Structure 1
C-alpha cells in the first residue's frame, strides 16, 4: 500500500473549482450536555435522580470520547501548507521488526499450498469470481483447512530483493508494508494442532502457530455453534508510528479492515462464513488473546524519543467468528461469555514477546485516542444475526481473467507507479463497482450482506467519490458511488449545488453510481493525493467518504476505528478486483483532507474522506527480483 509520500511543501491553491477555507469544528460544543427534562426532586424520586445523574455522567463521558476522536482526526489532517506531525526522517537503526514472536512458545508448523491452478485441484481453490455468486459446501475444521485459511489471508506472498535490501510481502496489504496487524487463533481441539482447545499466535514468516495457552474444554460447546472457531486481530501502533507519526492510528485501522477482508475471502473459499463478534469489549479481547501480559503504558503529554519498550504493546481490535456457511441463527450470551473470558487471566500463558526496536518515539495523541475509542462490553439480546448469503450482481463476467482465488490473493501487489496509458472498458469498471456494494443482488444498498462486507456488524457508512480518467465509453469526470442508499438525499444536500447526480450511460440498474460533473480531473486528483502521479495515471482513483460525525454521535466513539475498518474492507475488494481483471491497485493514505471536502462541497464533519485508492496499469520495476515466500531468507526485514 502506498502511503504518505511527502513531496516538498507548497501553498498552491486549487483551481478550478475554487476552494476556500473551511471553518474548524468546535470540539467544545460536543462537551456540552444535551438539554433534558429533569424531574422535580422528592424523597420518593431519589432513586430516579441517581439514575438520571448516572445516565448524565455516562453521556458526558461518551461526548468527551467522541470529542477526543474528532480532535485526533482534525489534528492529523494533511493540508496544502502543513502535513500532520511525524518524524522528520526515518530512523533506520530502529525500524521495527515486522514479525512478532513469542519466545519459547511451542511452534506448530502449518501446511503450504500450490498457487498455480494447473497443479491445484479446482475444489481447493475455486475461481475468484465464483465466490461472489455462492459459497462452496463448508469443509470441516482440520490442520489442513486452518493452514489454508491462514495461507490465503495473512501469510507471506513473496520476498523482494534489490541491491542490499530484502523485504517480504504479505497476502494482506499494509500501509508502507509495515504490518502492524497481528492475528490469534482461538479454536476447539484440532487433530495435529492441539488435543485441547487452545489460543495460538500466527507467525506468518514461519507460517506456523505459536501455542500460547490451552483453555477449558467446555468453552466452545457452551458458547458457540459446532465447527466454529475465532480469530482475534490486534495492532502494534509503534510499527506505523515509526514512519508516519501521528497519522499512524488511521493507517493501523485501514490495515485491520484489509485483514478482515482477507480473512473473509479466504474463509469463503472453504465454505465458511465470518462475522465480527462486536458485543465484546476491549478488556474481553485483551484477556482472550492473552494481551494482558503487556504492562500498562503511561502516555506522555508530548511527543518524546527514548527507550519505551512498553510502546510495543498490542492493542486488541476485534474478534471474528468463523462458522459454516448456511448455519442457523444461534445464541451468543455476551454477559456469560465475558465472565468466562475473565478467567483467562489465570491461564498458563506460554512465551514472551520479542523486542521490536531499541529506541522509540511516542506520539501521545495516538494512545489517548486509542483509549477513548475502546469499545465497552454490550450485552446484546436476541439471536446472533446470521444473514443469508447475498450474491453480488453481474454485468460483465467476461471481465475476469479466469484466476483462482489463491492466484489473485497471492499475486496481489501495491503498484508503486501507474503507466498513464492503460484503459479500462466501461463494463469492467461497472463490474468492479458492483462487487464494492454491501447488500448484493436485488437489495436496496444499506445492510452489509454480500461478500466480504457481511463480516461487518453495522450498516454501510462509507461511500466513494470517484475520478474517472481512462474508462472507455465513460466521460472523464467526477462520479459518486452511494454504498448506503439511505444517505442519498443527505449527500445531495451536503454536496455542491451544481452537481448533476445523474446515472451515467449503460450503468446497471442495481449500481447506485452518479455522474456529478464531467471534465479532466487528472491534475486535481494528483494534487489532492499529496501530488502523487499515481492518483492521476490510473484508469480511475477515488476517495472513500464516511458518514462521519453523525455515526460517532449516534453509536459512540468506538465507531471511529470501525469506519476505517470498512474502508479497509472496501480497499481489499478493489485490490482483488483489479488483479482479477488484469490490472493493479494501490491504497493511498496521504491526501489533503479538507481540500477533498471542498471539492465535494462538504461543510463541517458530517462527511469525511478517510482513504484514497487508485486502479490502473502498473509500472514494473525490473531492478527488483521476486523470491518465493517459503522458504524465505533468514533475515527479519
Structure 2
C-alpha cells in the first residue's frame, strides 16, 4: 500500500488547480446552522416521511454550498496515507480478460448524432469494445516519481467513485450461462460474480439486450472534498451514463434507465448485499470504518438494439426475478480501499433520504431516436468515436488566447439540446440524453469570452422551453432575452447582457483562472425544489446525473472541434444566483464547465493504457 500512496499524491499538487479550500476537521463539528436560501418547512419531528426526506435534502444542499465567506466543510488537509484505492477488485472472483480493439474501427463521432448504425450482436468483441470506449483506462501519465491513470469517463479529482457491473446473457469465452460481473478497468476484464437463471433475459427483455449497473463509493470523493462529495459522486454517475450511451451508440445499441426499480432491487441485482450495513454516526468522525467503503446502487441501464419498438418492461415480473438474486452463489470479496476513514454523516443521511422506492406503475417508454441539429459540420475534425473518447482529457489550464468561430459555438450548443431537432425542447430524445426518462430540468447560463463575431457577455440556453416564462420572471428584469445574431432558429439561446465577464466567471468559480481563460464557461442551472416536490425527493441525484451527461457532451464536443474542456465542481453557489437575480429555491446552480484552448504541461509523459504500470495509482 505504501507504493500506491507514493505514486498518486504528487500529481494533485503539481497539476490540478485547487478545487476546494480545506477547512479544519474536528471531532464535533459544532458549527452554527448553515445559511439557508431554500425552504425547509417545519422540524422533521412534525413531518411525514416524504416531507422529512425533502427537508434532509434541502438541508444538505444548503449546508454544502460554497460562499464567499466560507467553503463547504471538508478535511483540514489531504490524508495521503489513506487516499482511497481507485480500483475496486473482487478477490477470488473468476477473471475474464476482454479484448483490446483497434483505435480506428468505429463510426465518426459526429455521425452518431444523426443516426445510429445497424446494431451489432452481443459477443466478446462487442462487449470488449463497449467497455473500452466507455469506462476503461485511456492512458497513464508520469512525471518525476509519480504515475497515475486516466479513464475514458472523467471524474472529479480523478478519484473515480463510480463502479460498473454487467448483467448479461451467455457470451462465448466469457460465461456459458447468463452472469453478473464487475468491470475491472485497470486490467480491462470482467470479474464474474454470479451465474443467473437462464430465463432471466428471455422472459423479460428483447433479444440482444443486457444491463449495466452503476454504483458510487462515497468515501472516494469525501476523502478529498468532504461533505460536497455526494454532489460530485452524482456528477460522475452522469458522466458515466453519457460515456456508456455514446459507446453503446457506436455498437448500434440504445440505452435507457430502468427507473421503475427501487434501491433494494438495484442492490440485489448487482450483488451489493456482500457489503455490511453501514450505521451512520450522529456526527462527522474519523476512525476505521471498513463498512464505509460500501457501494451505493445508483441506477440500472438497459442496453438494447436500436430500432426496436413495441416492447415493454414489466416491473413486477422484473422485481420478482431479481428477488432470486439474493440466493445466487456470489463470488469474490471486495478489496479494502483505505486503512482509516472520515465519515461525513450528512452524506449518508442524504443518500438514505433519496433512496428511490419501487414504482411498479412507472411506464417504460422508448422514444424514437431524434437527430441533433447541424449548422457547422465543418467545425468537427471528423474523428472516429473510439479515437475521440480515448483521447479526451480534462484541461488543467486554458491559454487565455484561443477563440472559436460563432458557428462552432452554436454547433456545440445544438448538441447540448435534449430534444434534438424537435421544434420545442423538453423531452430527452437525442443522444445521449435519451438514456434518461424524465423531461430536461437543466439549463445553462453562459459566460462568453472569446467567440468570434459574438459579443462578450452573459447568455442563457433554455433546455426545456416550458420553463422559459418562469426563468424570465425569476431572473433580473434588465436582462434582454434576445436571440443573438446568426443564431439558428431551433437553438433556444438568448443574450442576457453584453459585458466583459472574465473576472466575474473566475471569481464565481472559486477564483480559478480556468473559468475565464477559455472561449466560454457556463453554469448548469436546474429546477430543483419544484422537481423534488412534483416527482419525488429521489430526483435530487438525478438532477446531478443530468448535468453530468451534459458535461460529457461538452467534453466530447470540445475535443471534436480541436479544443478542450474541464468540469468545475467548485463554485460559489448563491453568488451565481445573485448574478442572475435568482432568489428562493426554484432554480439552483449545480455544476460549472469551461471550454477553450488547453495549456499542455510538457513535464508530463503519456504512457499506453494497457499494459499499464503494475502499481495502483
TM-score normalised by length of structure 2: 0.94
Match in the other structure for 1:80? 68
Counterpart Cα distance in 2 of 1:142 and 1:591: 44
Indicate the larger mover: 436-445 or 248-257.
436-445
Find the aligned partners of 2:164 and 2:362 in 1 and give their Cα distance. Answer: 28
Paired with 1:381 and 1:521, the residues of 2 have a C-alpha distance of 44
State yes or no: 1:364 paired with 2:345: yes
C-alpha deviation, 1:164, in angstroms = 1.1
**Residue pair 1:157, 1:169 contacting (<8 A) in 2 also:** yes
1:27 aligns with: 40
Hey, what does 1:102 align to over in structure 2? 90
In structure 2, the residue matched to 1:15 is none
Contact 1:2 1:414 in 2 (8 A): no
Deviation, structure 1 residue 329: 2.6
Aligned to 1:460: 440
| Distance apart, 1:30 and its partner CA | 8.5
Secondary structure in structure 1 of the residue aligned to 2:41: helix
Q: Would you say the 8 A contact 1:282–1:374 is kept in 2?
A: yes
Matching of residue 412 in structure 1 with residue 426 in structure 2: no
Output the CA distance in 1 between the equivalents of 2:16 and 2:238: 16
Q: Which moved more, 1:63-72 or 1:480-489?
A: 63-72
CA contact (8 A) 2:22 2:73 kept: no
Structure 1 segment 29-178 matched on structure 2, within 5 A: 29=42, 60-115=48-103, 117=104, 124-178=105-159
1:301 is displaced (CA, Å) by 1.1
1:373 aligns with 354
Query: What is the CA-CA distance between 1:26 and the residue it aligns to?
Result: 3.6
Which residue number corresponds to residue 265 of structure 2?
Answer: 284
Contact 1:271–1:324 (CA<8 Å) still a contact in 2? yes
Residue number in structure 1 paired with 2:507: 527
What is the CA distance between 1:442 and its match in structure 2?
Answer: 3.3
- State the alpha-carbon separation in 2 of the partners of residues 319 and 387 from structure 1: 18
Any unmatched runs of 5+ in structure 2? 1-14, 24-33
Superposition deviation, residue 23 in structure 1:
6.2
SS of 2:76's equivalent in the other structure is: coil
- Separation of aligned partners in 2, 1:168 and 1:618: 19
Write the distance in 2 (CA, Å) between the matches of 1:24 and 1:545: 15
Which residues in structure 2 correspond to 1:199-348 (within 5 Å)? 199-348=180-329
CA RMSD of aligned residues (A): 1.6
User: Which secondary structure does the structure 2 equivalent of 1:526 belong to?
Assistant: helix
Counterpart residue number, 2:28? none
Alignment partners' CA distance in 1, 2:479 and 2:501: 15
Distance 1:240 1:411 in 2: 24
Q: Distance in 1 between matches of 2:19 and 2:366?
A: 42
Match of 1:45 in 2: none
**Does 2:605 correspond to 1:625?**
yes
- Verify: 1:196 aligned to 2:182, yes or no: no
What is the aligned residue count? Answer: 593
Q: Find the counterpart in structure 1 of residue 563 from structure 2.
A: 583
Supply the distance in 2 between the matched residues of 1:395 and 1:290 (Cα, whole angstroms). 46
1:552 aligns with 2:532: yes
Larger Rg: 1
Alpha-carbon distance in structure 1 between the residues aligned to 2:357 and 2:20: 37
SS in 2 for 1:295: coil
- The alpha carbon displacement at 1:224 in A equals 0.8
Aligned partners of 2:396, 2:101: CA distance in 1, in Å?
A: 28
Which secondary structure does the structure 2 equivalent of 1:598 belong to? helix
CA contact (8 A) 1:584 1:616 kept: yes
Q: Once the 2 structures are TM-superposed, how far is the Cα of residue 405 of structure 1 from its aligned partner?
A: 0.7
Deviation at 1:587, TM superposition (A): 0.1
Deviation digits for residues 174-195 of structure 1, max 9, x if unmatched?
0000000000000011111111
CA contact (8 A) 1:229 1:323 kept: yes
Out of 467, 471, 481, the residue aligned to residue 487 of structure 1 is 467
Do the aligned residues in 1 keep the contact of 2:212 with 2:301 (CA within 8 Å)? yes
SS at match of 1:28: coil
CA contact (8 A) 2:260 2:362 kept: no
CA distance in 1, matches of 2:365, 2:190: 30
Q: Per-residue deviation at 1:331? A: 2.1
Alignment partner, residue 607 of structure 1? 587
1:2 is displaced (CA, Å) by 6.4
Report how far residue 253 of structure 1 moved.
0.2
Deviation for aligned residue 1:343 = 1.4
User: Are 1:634 and 2:617 an aligned pair?
Assistant: no
The answer for unaligned runs of 5 or more in structure 1 is 10-20, 34-56, 118-123
Offset at residue 8 of structure 1 (A): 9.4
Hey, what's the Cα distance between the residues in 1 that align with 2:44 and 2:222? 29
Spell out, residue by residue over 1:218-239, the C-alpha distance to the aligned partner (whole angstroms, 9 max, x if none): 1111111111000000000000
More displaced 10-residue stretch of structure 1: 335-344 or 385-394: 335-344
Cα distance in 2, alignment partners of residues 88 and 4 from structure 1: 14
Q: Structure 1 CA distance, aligned partners of 2:515 and 2:251?
A: 35
Match of 2:516 among 525, 536, 541: 536
Work out the CA distance in 2 between the residues paired with 1:23 and 1:201. 41
The answer to whether the Cα contact below 8 Å between 1:3 and 1:588 also exists between their aligned partners in 2 is no
The CA deviation at 1:340 is 1.5
* Aligned counterpart, 1:180: 161
**1:197-227 deviation line (CA, Å, top 9, x unaligned):** 0000000000000000001111111111111
CA distance in 2, matches of 1:367, 1:235: 12
